[in-house]
Chains A and B, each alone.
Chain A
Amino acid sequence: MVDVQIRDLTRVFNEGRDEIVAVDGIDLTIEDGEFVTLVGPSGCGKTTTLRCVAGLDTPTGGTIHFGDRNVTNLPVQERDVALLFQDIALYPHMSVRDNMAYGLKIEGVSREERYARVEDAAELLQITDQLDKGPGDLSGGQRQRVALGRSLVRDPTVFLFDEPMSDLDAKLKRELRPVVEQVTAEIGCPVLYVTHDQEEAMTMSDRIAIMNQGELEQVGPPKEVYEDPATEFVSGFIGQPNAQFFDGRIATANGVVTLEIGDFDFDLSVDPGALDGFGGEAIRVGIRPQNIHVSENPDDGIPATHLLDEPLGDETHSFFETEMGEVIVVTDSDFEGDGGDYGLVLDSDYAKLFDVESGVRIA
């Protein structure tokens, strides 16, 4: 049983005279057999974190343990990790079979045993027919499978993924996601999967860690981070289309808490106690486009002019221009705005309130 414990991990790069803090003291534990996805925008420090766990980069501060083994300063060769690279990194001068067997060759496994294990892995990944080809003859999806197989045969202690699917098209990604889950379940080790694609994070993970500017914003199961975001950033990053944000104000009158956005008031069904001290204060309101309703009557809510519709078949994404900027609303599949004037009604049950300064969730 091995878990991965990252404690107060910090990585500072010195670029000339500037110090760039890529990772700023993060704590994260990945249980044995758990699939944790580290997600965030480019430059948030997620790949640096992964490279520190792999041993390809050395942390400036903090520790990394695999089980009770402190690996913080252990060279990459001695960590027994598998890493799937963004560019897949198959060797063009070796056949698929030898690519997959290379790790075992270094371990000193006999040729017979190597190829037998490659055959087994290839069967699981459905690439048996490709074993004698070169990597250049394979399609993008097949290459991913070979790369997965290369890690599978080694049975690593920890499995790391560095945005392996970012160069694939959406359909191929959907095809490969179950394969990745199958392979990682087969190995049964802790998995750290780095991606900037929140859909990948949502679909594959046991838990998601959302990272921004070198810090972890929230760690939790996909449903939890979606429904109960800890910060404005998480709320905006997880979910498609992105959550919409408004500047608002809290007003408390006769024990009823109302949320004012522009000229419009929405009743809030929150415990007034949670908003103590925020009465009359400016606040950020986040709401998912699914929880905004379009009223034919412009007086019913925030006045909005229809811009365009993106019909997706089962639903439509409609864009509106308001005083507070552009707002996206998920509407019914038969909605057609035709550039008219509407009122946007927020379903205040789903409204999330955030502190303006820190972005931390209030209610």
Chain B
Amino acid sequence: MSADSKKGGILGLGYQSEQRLFDYSKVASAVIFFVFGVFPIYWMAQSSLKIRSAVTSPEVSWYPTPATFTLENYDVLTNPDVVLYVVNTIVVTIGTILAVVVISLIAGYGLARLRFPHKENFARFLLFGYLFSPIVLGLPLYLIWKQLGLLNTRIGLIVALSAISMPFAVWLMWKYVQTIPESMEESAWVAGASRWRGFRDVIVPQSQPAIIAAALFGFAIAWNDFTFAQILLPRNEATTFAPGIFRLITQGYDIAWGDIMAVSLMMTLPPLVFAYFMQSYLLKGFQIRSL
């Protein structure tokens, strides 16, 4: 009786066939990821290093040759408009991360530790925020922001982005704080620490993985945001990178693909680096049962 004839496994095939199938699927999924995930980034990178005629030529070229290679596309990074977009994006992202981490940690602590009526309902209600697409929320926000004078301000965008990041971040913090034994805080109180001091000395340092996870989440929301920035920062001089680059494409007579690719590549690197160095914390933060 050969090993292969033993039926078993999930698909009812022999163990060896299933192992082979599993290996093929692994390779296939890696290929799919490369074609749709990594290849466009490569395309962006190689296009940014080619002269204009090589990018727009109907002939497909897979890499820059000595004849088509150039670095001049990167000159666009010194373009004042582009610099402004990048600075705006960085400011808005940092602001959003700070707001998300601070508010969600305090809110999550409250949900985990304090007793108040309808606490569970409140937490469930938070997730309602995700039932609406950003465009649905963005248009009324535009009217409200206009009244409040928050249009075309970074603060206005930070508030909007923090608001849509908050439900998930609060939920994450809530569940994470629940994993910290209450006796640790009580032990601090017994020693004379106030509630706030106990929160600062015991809860905050131990919530580090959740703080990093929430920060990454806020980063992803803010850095990649298009909709809110497009709606709430209508003026070209005030907007962030995503709508900025979109406006670069649509305005003007012909499209400067090389420039766009160069800027895009520069904006793609920070999230990659950020995520790469934080991934172990990120996984820890998301490793909570019942999240």
Contact = CB atoms under 8 A, between A and B. Distances in A.
Contacts of A107: 192
A267 interface: no
Interface in A85-99: 85-87, 89, 91-93
A251 to B, nearest CB: 55
Contacts of B190: 54-56, 76-77, 81-83
Given A77-B193, A77-B194, A106-B193, A56 B186 contact: yes
Given A91-B202, A106-B197, A154 B187 contact: no
A103 interface: yes
Contacts of B201: 91, 102
Contacts, number: 53
A103 B187 CA distance: 9
B189 A93 contact: no
Contacts of B197: 106
A87 B191 contact: no
A92 B186 contact: no
B12 interface: no
B57 interface: no
B184 A89 contact: yes
Contact of B184 (A54, A55, A91, A103): A91
Among A81, A83, A154: residue with most chain B CB under 10 A:
A83
A87 B180 CA distance: 12
B188 interface: yes
B181 interface: yes
Interface string B184-218: 10111111111001000110011000000000000
Nearest to B195: A77
B153 to A, nearest CB: 38
A106 B192 contact: yes
A4 to B, nearest CB: 15
B121 interface: no
Contacts of A87: 181, 183
Contact of A56 (B184, B189, B194, B202): B189
Contact of A92 (B192, B193, B194, B206): B206
Contacts of B193: 77, 106
Interface in A25-61: 54-56
Q: SS class of chain B's interface: helix, strand, loop or mixed?
A: helix
Among B184, B187, B202, B206: residue with most chain A CB under 10 A:
B187
A77 B181 CA distance: 19
Nearest to B206: A93
A117 to B, nearest CB: 14
A83 B190 CA distance: 7
Nearest to A93: B205
A152 to B, nearest CB: 12
Nearest to A51: B186
A91 B204 CA distance: 12
Given A77-B189, A77-B193, A102-B188, A86 B206 contact: no
Contacts of B202: 91
A102 B193 CA distance: 10
A228 B206 CA distance: 50
Nearest to B193: A106
Contact of A103 (B183, B186, B192, B206): B192
Contacts of A103: 191-192
A105 to B, nearest CB: 9
A56 B186 CA distance: 7
Contacts of A82: 190-191
A200 B165 CA distance: 52
A214 to B, nearest CB: 22
Interface in B237-263: none
Contacts of B205: 91, 93
B191 A89 contact: no
Nearest to B191: A103
Contacts of B192: 77-78, 80, 103, 106-107
A306 to B, nearest CB: 47
A85 B190 CA distance: 11
Interface string B114-137: 000000000000000000000000
A200 B54 CA distance: 85
A54 B188 CA distance: 12
Contact of B187 (A78, A85, A92): A85
Contact of B191 (A55, A93, A106): A106
A106 B193 CA distance: 6
A92 B197 CA distance: 17
A154 B186 contact: no
A76 B189 contact: yes
Nearest to B184: A89
B206 A89 contact: no
A154 B187 CA distance: 13
6 contacts: A83-B190, A85-B187, A87-B183, A91-B206, A103-B192, A150-B191
In order of increasing CB-CB distance, the 10 nearest A-B pairs are A103-B191, A89-B183, A85-B183, A93-B205, A89-B187, A106-B192, A83-B190, A89-B184, A76-B189, A77-B192
Interface of B: 181, 183-184, 186-194, 197, 201-202, 205-206
Given A76-B190, A81-B190, A93-B205, 16 more contacts: A54-B190, A56-B189, A77-B190, A78-B192, A82-B190, A82-B191, A83-B187, A86-B183, A89-B187, A91-B184, A91-B201, A92-B206, A102-B191, A106-B191, A150-B191, A154-B191
